[in-house]
Structure 1
Amino acid sequence: MTHTALPILFVPDLVLLPGMVVPVELDDASRAAIDAADAGSDGTLLVAPRLGDRYASYGVLATVERTGRLSSGSPAAVLRAGQRARIGSGTTGPGAALWVDVETVEDDAPVAEEAREHVRELAEDYKRLVVALLQRREAWQVVDTVQRMSDPSVLADAAGWASYLSDERKREVLETPDVAERLELLIGWTREHLAEVELTDKIGEDVRDGMEKQQREYLLRQQLAAIRKELGEGEPDGSDDYRSRVEAHPGLPEAVRTAALTEVDKLERSSEQNPEAGWIRTWLDTVLDLPWGTTTDDSTDVEAARAVLDADHHGLDEVKDRIVEHLAVRARRAERGLQVVGGRGSGAVVLLAGPPGVGKTSLGESVARALGRRFVRVALGGVRDEAEIRGHRRTYVGALPGRIVRAIKESGSMNPVVLLDEVDKVGSDYRGDPAAALLEVLDPAQNHTFRDHYLDLDLDLSDVLFIATANVVEQIPAALLDRMELVTIDGYTEDDKVAIARDFLLPRQLERAAVTADEFTITDEALRELAATFTREAGVRQVERLLAKTLRKAATRLATGSERVDVDVADLKDLVGRPRFTPESAERTAVPGVATGLAVTGLGGDVLFIEASAHDTHGDGGGLTLTGQLGDVMKESARIALTFVHAHADELGIDPAFFDKAVHVHVPAGATPKDGPSAGITMVTALTSLATGRPVRAEVGMTGEVTLNGRVLPIGGLKQKLLAAQRAGLTEVFVPLRNEPDLDDVPAEVLDALTVHVVGDVLDVVRGALEPAASSGSSTTSSTTSSDGERAA
């Protein structure tokens, strides 16, 4: 080490290490230092870094190679750094520069062989790291320079050129004279930087690969689009940009949006040749086409809604009241700011049960119009596949959502009126039970999370107004029936039919036949005759067909010269033919052993004649034969009736020898299956009539089941049966005592036309229904008094 006095030049934000040659911009202080070096130290000066406000304790001896100007015109000098030196105390010297005492620092080589070997190993490790870093940057010339360096100290001081080292770290290298320590510091820093470079390069490579893939796919898609355009096979707008469609959809629930984006990710990762891509597109189209978040505002005018229902349908007060009540509740909830749309259990499920032609389906359309909702009809008749309700799973080829989801999609809103037509005609087979699938749809406590197999998403059906229709309630599974509110539409009276024909059917048929009201008239008596003798139905479909036939005949007459056509009762035969139905009870019951019963079929109420006959067996003993396609219930009723008559033979005035004969009970129309618990008292009456030889009164009909001890059990469908009795021309009807409350539902005009006896004992039926023994063949009413009471309207 040697000491000498040298002018010092502090360089801001620059660290010179031995071996470096750099230009330095000159200011007054720098010029003074260089001038002092030229004047007093043979051109040598000490260059030390100044980082911020901190002055270094080490520097390097430097010589001035040349002076000149930078490209910017500023004066500069090129300095070559030499040996390390430690800065001592200040001293004096010529010129205006600052002079300091300088102690040079030699790079002492290790004495021991092990130490020298350790330094060489460190140098090789550092060189490998530097070369690897330079190769990543493809700096091949610098690589050759580094590999030619053999002096560990020179290799370490070459770090002054490393751009990845901060000035603070370079200053630390400058102030570390020991070569081994310098190399260890540099190895650690270089490894850190190399790891960062590798990670950055990997990320950059991945980004470049992704960009190249996207650019390649974009180019291929553009080419594919051009090819399809040339072939005339263009895709629909928006078929590719599913992600933006999902993200921009305003009404998608968050769970649905998440599921849709997951499918979009799969679609974007799959190739066009993957068949799953087509399934995903179809699923996304289905989901995006559903009216998520779209609802219609319900009308809150209760009086206007009732006016709409009254204008569309005659009568049907019970179902109209139910719809108006539903609307009134929603209107009050809206006034109080309570939740109206959606929510658990807020939906309504109404079952309209009744015979065909009474207006169940058209009533659903009127309800939608009254509420201001959209209407969609789902026909369930004959559906046997559960997937028709819940949808197919997406794994099947040609999978589709169920009819419920398709109905929501078709309606365009999440709160339509959905009419489930003919729900009693849903079947079941090996493909599942659609009625069981309907349980979740029609349960207000569950349908807020209805899950279709195809969508596999929760669909809120709680605000959908479901209206189901059925002809026979007994054919609906009990669990399904329990989830619906039953409203029965039992049929119309003759007065109702005349009013419906006048107000609804006739205007529609006039329009279809292109006949004006000035050219055609029909009297109310003629309409009543059409309903009474030309048809015998609970609804008005056949009446409308006859009106259409009448108007076609009228249109023909008008086209052949007639100015107008007026139809009265006498004109009906020429227009629609002879009457098809005439009262036949008197004819059928003219002989003993025939009784008139009342029944309910899928077409509404009807009269049912039960015939009994007996013949000698020539000593072979009596027996009971049943014909007429009777079900198990009616067969039991016949056996119970015979047993009861046998047990009460003395009370009924029957000769015991009668029971030695073979008895045959027949219910005509044998091609039609018949069953039900309402023919018991009719069979007792028919057998008693046969055994006593007293005919049943022609104007009497009856309905009710019987027990072995003669009690009359209640039955169902009383209103439909009484309507059928009135249509058939009966004037007296025996009904079970326990059905007396059901008479409140029967129209007043029907009760005015019928004398209804409520009975609890079958003997009262027999006494009131048979012709008196003293005057067989003449009718009397004195014997029709029931011990349990009578209700005659």
Structure 2
Amino acid sequence: MLFLDDIVLLPGMVVPVELDEAAQAAVDAARTSAGSELLIAPRLEDRYASHGVVASVKQVGKSRGGTPAAVLRTGERARIGSGVTGPGAALWVEAEPVAAVAPTEHARELAAEYKKLVVSVLQRREAWQVIDSVSAIDDPGDLADTAGWAPYLTNDRKRDLLETPDVEARLERLIEWTRDFLAESEVSDKIEHDVRESVEKRNREYLLREQLKAIRKELGEDQAEGNDDYRARVEAADLPDGVREAALREVGKLERAGDQNPEAGWIRTWLDTVLDLPWNERTTDNTDLAAARAVLDADHHGLDEVKDRIVEYLGVRARRESRHLEKIGGRGSGAVILLAGPPGVGKTSLGESVARTLGRKFVRVALGGVRDEAEIRGHRRTYVGALPGRIVRAIKESGSMNPVVLLDEVDKVGSDYRGDPAAALLEVLDPAQNHTFRDHYLDLDLDLSDVLFIATANVLDTIPQALFDRMELISIDGYTESDKVAIARDFLVPRQLERAALQTGEVTVTEEALREIAANYTREAGVRSFERLLAKAFRKAALKDLPVTVDAGDLKDLIGRPRFTPESSERTAVPGVATGLAVTGMGGDVLFIEASLLPGDKGGLSVTGQLGDVMKESAQIALSYVRAHAEELGISPEQLDHPIHLHVPAGAVPKDGPSAGVTMTTALVSLLVGRNVRAEVGMTGEVSLTGRVLPIGGVKQKLLAAQRAGLTEVFLPQRNEPDLDEVPQDVLEALTVHVVSDVREILRTALEPSAPRTGSRAAHPAHSDVS
């Protein structure tokens, strides 16, 4: 027995082995035995092998280094047993030969697959003679044992093959390992090829550059041509004096810097940016007020306040130009308009219409999710990969110094350790400062006073007060049902017909169908859901026999059943439920508030529905008012000794704000006196401890929501009466609006004259489940 370190022999191999003392004893003992055979097994770091190969000694002599050596030819496998005592110093063991098994058909298939992989490996190494030898092997076992020569297999894997007598198992492992090696080789070769090409390209470019430099030197043209080109470009460009001086200073630095100086690339990039900016380029505004109003009316339905503001801006601009008024104190006639409203009401598209009306270039700057101040002010040039801010890039993209820049989603600007982008916008939007706006990358004064900035936002609460103070607010609170029908008829239907590849007349939508969609299929301030439903209807109608007329009765087959139906009468069918009005990020909405008496005599108030702190305080104020005026309201003191639960449904939606105070008070009184709140009544307003109804915001959006929900009567705080001037006339005609200053006025009118049934369960706390 001979153990070899760090080498694994498989059957069919012929290898020279250097002989140490133990190996010499084993070879000598083998030569004295019949057949000159000995058993060889690997001895790796972790353990001895359980199998070995029977090898015959073919030749004994010396290696090229002069050390004793022997040439061995390996034969069949043998399983190593226990050690025995034998003659001489050699190690003797019992061994059981592993008989060869006739190959199966599956083994031959695996051998054919493995042979293809081996040939692929050998072709990569251009070992053509070895390919011929491998191709001539037919026996699957012999083919698997040729893996002993494979340099890509570790000794552990070769020992695994040695200890696996089953041919199919050996071939399956070899196929897997060889495929992995080929995949790794392909990746390695590709990387090596790419690196070699890159190095060769750089060497070739360096050689050509040096040759070009030598040719220019011989011709006397050894000055940097690119630097001369920048100086000529700066001198020829139409730049302000201060900008020209700064640019020429940078050109001087570039001329003194060598080609290998890293600052040269930064200076060239900065000069390219400066030269690409339209410092003195301006478009001429269209001052035809009648034509401007016609363009706005053609692009958008309604939105009179926005259109009036644009026309006013044009009128003042035309008057200033006619009187040749220069900028006062460096300030131009730039304006900053904030369009605030729910999604889908046309804020972004309105910016494009304004630009088309004025005849200016239009650029949109998306601010949603921006958290890095450098996005607004730019990066300083000392940073790698520095770029100017979005404002400078917008001016560069527009090609003029007086474009319409739409700052989209300004309410979604965030802040973190990288700075506060909203604070960086202060200089951009302040008319007293933006004529000298300084971008960190440019480090030059940029006049933004002639830029018309239009910002959009869904909610105002998240806009910092200092930024909000610099903008002129124009609210777009949403559309009435009639507005939606008109918008769909004039804008949405033609657009969706074109997208569905339908021509006018192939699919016709009736007025009744549009009104049905607006009333019962959508409950939104804008028209995005409306347009999606129209697109769905047109897609399905396009598959039918044309022409098709879509009427109200056809909507169920095309877009499904109505999603929204009036539910106020159903929700307020029992005492303790009142209908309030609220404003969300999606526009106005109705809010049902439910109250219930619980068994017990310890009193107390619990509120649910994911309410904010302000709304919880409103609930406590409402209960305190009811307790203080219980006798006047006809409420027995015993009822107030029981716990009260106040709940605002849709608990997954966070809710906060003071405007639910009167609704909570009405719900509590309705529960305690056992009288239903009238189903057609909605209300909004903050309540005080003395019962005063205090003003709130979002009146227009709330009244639009009340009309959409099917309400006909609304209570508003008296101090909100001026806000009714902004509400569309058709909404006011559909609603009876009561302005009140005391909550008693609401309680006298909003509650039904008497309890809906005798012996209301609200009078029995043990059974108060009316909510």
Is the pair's TM-score, using the shorter chain for normalization, greater than 0.5? yes
Instruction: Quote the Cα distance in structure 1 between the aligned partners of 2:322 and 2:412.
Output: 41
Structure 1 position 413 matched with structure 2 position 406: no
Task: Tell me what 1:249 maps to.
Answer: 237
Mapping of 1:634-653 within 5 angstroms? Answer: 634-653=615-634
Structure 1 position 675 matched with structure 2 position 656: yes
**Kept after mapping to 1: 8 A contact 2:227/2:251:** no
Instruction: Quote the Cα distance in structure 2 between the aligned partners of 1:752 and 1:702.
Output: 17
Task: Tell me what 1:476 maps to.
Answer: 463
Q: Secondary structure at the match of 2:622?
A: helix
Mapping of 1:510-549 within 5 angstroms? Answer: 510-549=497-536
Structure 1 position 592 matched with structure 2 position 575: yes
2:547 to 541, 548, 564: 564
Q: Tell me the CA shift for residue 563 of structure 1.
A: 2.7
Instruction: Quote the Cα distance in structure 1 between the aligned partners of 2:265 and 2:713.
Output: 69
Distance 1:659 1:338, change over 3 A: same
Instruction: Quote the Cα distance in structure 1 between the aligned partners of 2:751 and 2:583.
Output: 24
Structure 1 position 749 matched with structure 2 position 737: no
Instruction: Quote the Cα distance in structure 2 between the aligned partners of 1:317 and 1:656.
Output: 54
| Aligned pairs, number | 544
Instruction: Quote the Cα distance in structure 2 between the aligned partners of 1:480 and 1:689.
Output: 44
2:750 to 769, 775, 791: 769
Q: Which has the larger radius of gyration?
A: 1
Distance 1:675 1:221, change over 3 A: farther
Per-residue CA deviations over 1:520-559 (Å, capped at 9, x if unaligned) read 11111100110111000001111111111111111111xx
Structure 1 position 297 matched with structure 2 position 297: no
Mapping of 1:70-219 within 5 angstroms? Answer: none
1:455 to 415, 437, 442: 442
Q: Secondary structure at the match of 1:262?
A: helix
- Give the counterpart letter for 1:613 in structure 2: S
In structure 2, list runs of 5 or more residues that go unmatched: 1-207, 217-224, 759-771
Per-residue CA deviations over 1:658-689 (Å, capped at 9, x if unaligned) read 11111111111111111112100000001111
1:385 to 358, 369, 372: 372
Instruction: Quote the Cα distance in structure 2 between the aligned partners of 1:742 and 1:448.
Output: 36
Structure 1 position 404 matched with structure 2 position 361: no
Task: Tell me what 1:580 maps to.
Answer: 563
Per-residue CA deviations over 1:59-103 (Å, capped at 9, x if unaligned) read xxxxxxxxxxxxxxxxxxxxxxxxxxxxxxxxxxxxxxxxxxxxx
Structure 1 position 759 matched with structure 2 position 711: no
Structure 1 position 437 matched with structure 2 position 431: no
- Give the counterpart letter for 1:390 in structure 2: R
Instruction: Quote the Cα distance in structure 2 between the aligned partners of 1:243 and 1:776.
Output: 93
Structure 1 position 270 matched with structure 2 position 257: yes
Structure 1 position 280 matched with structure 2 position 267: yes
Percent pairwise identity: 78
Structure 1 position 308 matched with structure 2 position 295: yes
Q: Secondary structure at the match of 2:442?
A: coil
Q: Secondary structure at the match of 2:543?
A: helix
Task: Tell me what 1:664 maps to.
Answer: 645
**Kept after mapping to 2: 8 A contact 1:330/1:340:** no
1:719 to 700, 703, 718: 700
Q: Tell me the CA shift for residue 690 of structure 1.
A: 1.1
Task: Tell me what 1:553 maps to.
Answer: 540
Instruction: Quote the Cα distance in structure 2 between the aligned partners of 1:671 and 1:432.
Output: 33
- Give the counterpart letter for 2:475 in structure 1: T
Instruction: Quote the Cα distance in structure 2 between the aligned partners of 1:580 and 1:772.
Output: 33
Instruction: Quote the Cα distance in structure 2 between the aligned partners of 1:226 and 1:516.
Output: 67
**Kept after mapping to 2: 8 A contact 1:382/1:425:** yes
**Kept after mapping to 1: 8 A contact 2:406/2:456:** yes
- Give the counterpart letter for 1:771 in structure 2: E
Q: Tell me the CA shift for residue 225 of structure 1.
A: 11
TM superposition score normalised by structure 2: 0.69
Instruction: Quote the Cα distance in structure 2 between the aligned partners of 1:357 and 1:238.
Output: 51
Q: Tell me the CA shift for residue 773 of structure 1.
A: 2.2
**Kept after mapping to 1: 8 A contact 2:227/2:255:** no
Distance 1:556 1:642, change over 3 A: same
Structure 1 position 625 matched with structure 2 position 606: yes
Instruction: Quote the Cα distance in structure 1 between the aligned partners of 2:516 and 2:355.
Output: 34
Instruction: Quote the Cα distance in structure 1 between the aligned partners of 2:560 and 2:211.
Output: 73
2:324 to 337, 341, 349: 337
Distance 1:526 1:341, change over 3 A: farther
Instruction: Quote the Cα distance in structure 1 between the aligned partners of 2:691 and 2:226.
Output: 76
Task: Tell me what 1:223 maps to.
Answer: 212
- Give the counterpart letter for 1:241 in structure 2: D
- Give the counterpart letter for 2:578 in structure 1: A
Instruction: Quote the Cα distance in structure 2 between the aligned partners of 1:383 and 1:523.
Output: 44
Q: Secondary structure at the match of 1:376?
A: strand
Instruction: Quote the Cα distance in structure 2 between the aligned partners of 1:322 and 1:732.
Output: 32
- Give the counterpart letter for 1:616 in structure 2: P
Structure 1 position 694 matched with structure 2 position 675: yes
Instruction: Quote the Cα distance in structure 2 between the aligned partners of 1:705 and 1:594.
Output: 18
Task: Tell me what 1:172 maps to.
Answer: none
**Kept after mapping to 1: 8 A contact 2:507/2:546:** no
Task: Tell me what 1:110 maps to.
Answer: none
Give the RMSD, CA atoms, in angstroms: 1.9
Q: Tell me the CA shift for residue 345 of structure 1.
A: 4.4
